[in-house]
Structure formats: structure tokens, C-alpha cells
Amino acid sequence: MKLDIGTLVFVTSLLWLCQTAALIVQYRIGKAYRGMGWWLIAVIVQSVGFWTMLAVMFPPIYVLAMFGNPLMYLGQIFLIVGILKFLDRPVPVRMLSAIYASFVISYYWFLFVDANLSARTAVFNAFIGFLALATAAYLFRRKKPQFASAANFTALVFFIFGLIEFIILLSNSLPSRYSEYSQVKEDPIALLNFIAPIISSVLWTYGLILLVNQRLNGDVQLEKEKLRLIFNIGPQAELITRMSDSLLVDANNELVNLTGYDRNEALGQKIIDLDLWTTPEDRASYMEELGREGQVDQREFAFRRRDGASFVGLTSGRLIVIDDEPHVVTSVLDITVRKEIEQKMQALLAEKNAQYETLSLIQDQLLKVNGELERLSAQDKLTGFFNRHKLTEMLEHEIFRWSRYGNPSTLVMVDIDHFKRINDRFGHLTGDKVLVQLAALLQAKVRKSDFCFRWGGEEFLLLLTETGYEDALLTAEKLRLFVETSSDFPVESLTISLGVVTWSEGWTQEEWIHQADMALYQAKEQGRNRVVGTASHE
């Protein structure tokens, strides 16, 4: 085959197609990396630019050829953008835009204003050479260690291609070599303009593929190192066993601390032969759950060390496929100390709960005792009536209630007539019985809302709540009459005298009691066995 422009055009077309196909495949493999889409776009744009340039050979579409070189150069711009993104470097958008704008202006100047084929070719060589050298510089200076060799190779390709473009540029600076496209076919320098891009494009495409593959390999190796680091750095033992026969294919360094077996010694042996499981039922349960669920999460099993000592292992497992065969990744964390602490904590908690229950029981008993003491402190032991301490509290409450709601309350002071004679004649025990029986009678004949107090000796005080003066007099008279006619007392006859006083505004407790005592005194002065009342302070 004759090496002429036609042959080179045919070969170049095939190469552009092959490059595009190769980069499409590579993009699908490593599209996670930034910039690879730009490489693919660059090759497609350059291919379109190359085929557009061929329009110069066909007069009907001759005008399309003017877009060929600008498209080729635009593809080269996209290529350097993709490389910068692949290197994780910022893209100088303004600078690249300015360079492209300068190229387009210069190129079309020598096409429309000063039509000069050699000048247009020189412009293309200069700008392409500059961009190739810039690409080489980026790859040399900005490469990463995991793909350094591929970056150096690709940079060298761009560097040599840039030098060749400047050599062609210098050759074109001689007196005009050609002014028509017909002269290009016979010019060896023009042939070099085709041959250099063909060879360099093949080489930089190969270099880009090397970059991606080397970076993939580096990333895979890095991930392996990370996984191995994670595999070894944890506090738990990690084991990988074959599902079919429990053969141990890998383990981390924690295996020796957990089981007593050295990693190199244990690899290649079956887990069953190492006798790590304390009971076969535990292992059967673990494998059954793995087969059913595909995983086991934090189950507690009993294991046995090489020296026979037992420990509790917090166990998790996952099914994975290695070389088309199911394997099990098992993680075992020794929690024996933690279980012992938990047991101690549970025992301590149980002890504390028992102490708390005991304290609660004692507290309940104390509350009952305090309640009883409070009741006894407020009651008269003989009659069960409230004593003077409780009387003070109740009178304060009644005075407050009257001031808020205006409901009247009345005190009735009761005294047994000639009680000393009863004690002298019948004895003090009989006198106490009389007091008890009279208290019971008074309690039974007043309302549940009324209160009975023992004032002292044979005197009682009744607080008739929400009771006015007239109603209190009737109540007192009924009590007097009932006692007089009662035959339940252990004496021949018993009478009482009563003093009735309704509270008046401005009185203190002491004044109210004093008025009741004065009314009782008047009843006794008037002959006893009668009721005397005072309606107001006056």
C-alpha cells in the first residue's frame, strides 16, 4: 500500500473509530473516576473534526472543512480538561477558553482575511504543540503515586508529540512551502502532520487506559490493605471458613489471643478439629441460622481455648462467596469479663433491691407508727376525743372558713354536775367509766361533721360546724335531756350543764373558749342541769 495522504486518511479513520470504541469500554469500567467522560467526548469531537476536514476533497461539501481544525483543537481542550479532573486538579476554565478563542481567531484570520494555508497550518501546529506540552507538564507534576508510571509514560507521549508539532512549525516558517491543498499530497512535512497525530493518539489512548487500570489496581490494593487493617485491628477474632467442610482459610492475629492457636498453625485446619465449640448444639444452631438467614448477629456462645479454659464469645457471622464457593466470615469477641461483671452487677442489684424493699417496708411501718403517734398526740387516751392541741387547729380552721364563706359555728362546753361526789362515793374507776360512757353518748348524738374534744377533767367541748345559735341551743338541750333520762350510767343519776356560744367577728380562739366557759359558769350558778347561751360578744 502506497504511503500517501489517501492511505493515511483511511488508516486514521480506522484508528479514530478504534480509539472511540476503546475509550467507551474504558469509561464503562472506570466511570467512577472524574474526567473519563471528558476523554470520551474529546475523542468523539476530534473524530468529527477529522472527518469534517475530509470534506475538502468533495467540492459539494467543501465548506464544512473550515470547521475541521477548530473541532480537532476543541477535542484537545476537552482532553486536557479530562486529565485535570482525573488528577483531581482544578480546571483553569478561563485560561483554556482564552487559548481556544485565540486559536479560532488566528485560524479564521488566515482563512478569510489573509488566506494562507501555510499560516493556518502553522497556527494549528503552534497551538496543538503548546497544549500537548502543557498536558505533559500537568501529568509530570500532578500525578499520584498509585499511577505514577502510567502518568510518566502518557506525559512523555504528549511531550514528544508537542516537540514534533514545534519542529513542523519551524519547517513551515521557511518560504511558503505550499499554498494549495493539491501541494500537500506530495509534501513529506505535510505527511508528518498526519503521521505524528496518528502515532501519538494511539499512544496517549494507550496511556490513558494504563492510567485508569493502574489507578484501579492501586485503589483495589489500597482497599485490600484497608480491609486487612480492619480485619487485624479489631479486638475480636475474625475467621473465614469454607461452608462445606469448615476449613479455616483466613484469620486475623487476634486468633492466638482468643483461642491460643497461632494463625499460621490454624490455617488449613478444620474448625471442628480445633475443638473450639464447647457444645456441638451451639455450632449446629449457629450454622442453621446462617443457612436460613444468611447472617447471625451478636449471639452468645460458649467456646473452649487450646488449654481447655472456657470463655463466652459474642458471635456474629455472614455468608460470602469466594471463588464461586460459599464461605462464612465469623467474628468472635471475648466477653467473659463483661459477663462476670454483669453477673456481679445483677447480684449487687438484687441485693440493693432487697435492701430497698426492706427500707420500703420499714418506711411504711414508720409512716404507720407516725400516723398512730400523731393520732395519739391529738386524742385523749381515756375517751378517744380530740385533745386541746387538735382543738386549736380546728378552731383556726373554723374561723378562717367563717371569714371566707360566712357560715356560723358554735362551741358547746359540757360539764358533769357534782362529778367530785361520784368519785368520792363510787371511786375513781367508776368516775372514769362515767366519762367514757358520756363521751360515747355525746359522740353518738352529734353530727359526723361536728367535733368532740375533752377540755379537761369532767369538761368536754363540742364544735358544731355550720350551726347557728338557735340550732346549737336545741342540740344542747337535747343532749342535756338525754343524759338526764339515761339509765346507762353506773350511777343512780347523772346531769350535765352546758354553755353555748356562737362565734362573733373579731374574737380570737381564746376569747371564744372563754365565752363558752363563762356561759357554762352561768349555767352552774343558776342551779346546774341546764343550758345557758351567748349569741354575741355583747
Confidence grade of residue 80 (pLDDT, cut at 50, 70, 90): very high
Task: Using the 3D structure, point to which of 189, 204, 226 is the last residue of a domain.
Answer: 226
Q: Does residue 383 belong to any structural domain of this protein?
A: no
Give CA 103 to chain center in angstroms.
Answer: 57
350 and 463 assigned to the same domain: no
Q: Which residue did the predictor score with more confidence, 112 or 375?
A: 112
pLDDT above 60: residue 4: no
Query: What's the CATH code of the domain at 303?
Result: 3.30.450.20
Residue 428 has which C-alpha cell?
A: 375513781
Residue 15 vs residues 18, 30, 194, 330: alpha-carbon distances, Å:
5, 22, 12, 52
175 and 260 assigned to the same domain: no
Confidence grade of residue 1 (pLDDT, cut at 50, 70, 90): very low
315 touches 301 (CB < 8 A): yes
Confidence grade of residue 18 (pLDDT, cut at 50, 70, 90): confident
Determine phi and psi for 322, rounding to 5 degrees.
-125, 120
Q: What is the pLDDT of residue 359?
A: 79
The rounded mean pLDDT for the chain is 82
pLDDT above 70: residue 193: no
Total of domains in the chain: 4
* Alpha-carbon span 155 to 150, nearest angstrom: 8
pLDDT above 60: residue 371: no
320 and 365 assigned to the same domain: no
DSSP 57: G
Confidence grade of residue 383 (pLDDT, cut at 50, 70, 90): confident
* Alpha-carbon span 286 to 280, nearest angstrom: 10
Minimal CA–CA distance to 332: which of 264, 266, 257?
Answer: 257
DSSP 508: -
pLDDT 10s digits, 218-250: 777 776 676 666 666 667 888 888 888 888 888
Q: What is the pLDDT of residue 417?
A: 92
Task: Using the 3D structure, point to which of 199, 226, 253 is the last residue of a domain.
Answer: 226
218 touches 147 (CB < 8 A): yes
pTM of the model: 0.50
Q: Which residue did the predictor score with more confidence, 527 or 171?
A: 527
Residues 6+ apart with CB under 8 A from 381: none
DSSP 134-181: HHHHHHHHH--GGGHHHHHHHHHHHHHHHHHHHHHHHHHTSS---SSH
Ranges 32-36, 221-225, 408-412: which has the least confidence: 221-225
**At CA 190, angle to CA 188 and CA 194, rounded to 5?**
110
Ranges 47-61, 322-336, 350-364: which has the least confidence: 47-61
Pick the catalytic residue from 165, 238, 398, 458. Answer: 458
Query: What's the CATH code of the domain at 193?
Result: 1.20.1070
Q: What is the pLDDT of residue 124?
A: 85
pLDDT above 90: residue 98: yes
Number of neighbouring beta carbons within 10 Å of residue 290: 18
* Alpha-carbon span 152 to 342, nearest angstrom: 61
pLDDT above 90: residue 474: yes
At residue 455, the 3 state secondary structure works out as strand
pLDDT 10s digits, 252-283: 878 777 788 887 887 888 888 888 888 888 88
360 and 398 assigned to the same domain: no
103 and 192 assigned to the same domain: yes
Over residues 173-189, the mean pLDDT reads: 50
* Alpha-carbon span 47 to 125, nearest angstrom: 18
Number of neighbouring beta carbons within 10 Å of residue 193: 22
* Alpha-carbon span 442 to 206, nearest angstrom: 120
What Rg value do the Cα atoms of the chain yield, rounded? Answer: 57
155 and 59 assigned to the same domain: yes
Task: Using the 3D structure, point to which of 226, 257, 288 is the last residue of a domain.
Answer: 226
For 63, the domain range is 5-226
Confidence grade of residue 502 (pLDDT, cut at 50, 70, 90): very high
Residue 480 has which C-alpha cell?
A: 342535756
345 and 330 assigned to the same domain: no
Across 46-50, 68-72, 349-353, 482-486, the highest mean pLDDT is recorded for: 482-486
Map grid coordinates 362515767 to a residue. 434
48 touches 67 (CB < 8 A): no
Q: Does residue 382 belong to any structural domain of this protein?
A: no
Q: In 252-357, which ranges are E strands?
A: 295-304, 310-322, 325-334
pLDDT above 60: residue 3: no
Q: Does residue 58 belong to any structural domain of this protein?
A: yes
29 and 53 assigned to the same domain: yes
Q: Does residue 514 belong to any structural domain of this protein?
A: yes
Q: What is the pLDDT of residue 300?
A: 85
Q: What is the pLDDT of residue 216?
A: 78
327 and 365 assigned to the same domain: no
Residues 6+ apart with CB under 8 A from 208: 23, 26, 39, 154
363 and 310 assigned to the same domain: no
pLDDT above 50: residue 181: no
pLDDT 10s digits, 36-46: 888 888 888 88
134 and 201 assigned to the same domain: yes
Ranges 23-37, 76-90, 388-402, 493-507: which has the least confidence: 23-37
311 and 431 assigned to the same domain: no
Q: Which residue did the predictor score with more confidence, 253 or 29?
A: 253
Q: Look up 466 and say whether it is catalytic.
A: no
Map grid coordinates 447480684 to a residue. 347
* Alpha-carbon span 140 to 219, nearest angstrom: 20
Q: Does residue 84 belong to any structural domain of this protein?
A: yes
Confidence grade of residue 172 (pLDDT, cut at 50, 70, 90): low
Q: What is the pLDDT of residue 95?
A: 93
Q: What is the pLDDT of residue 457?
A: 85
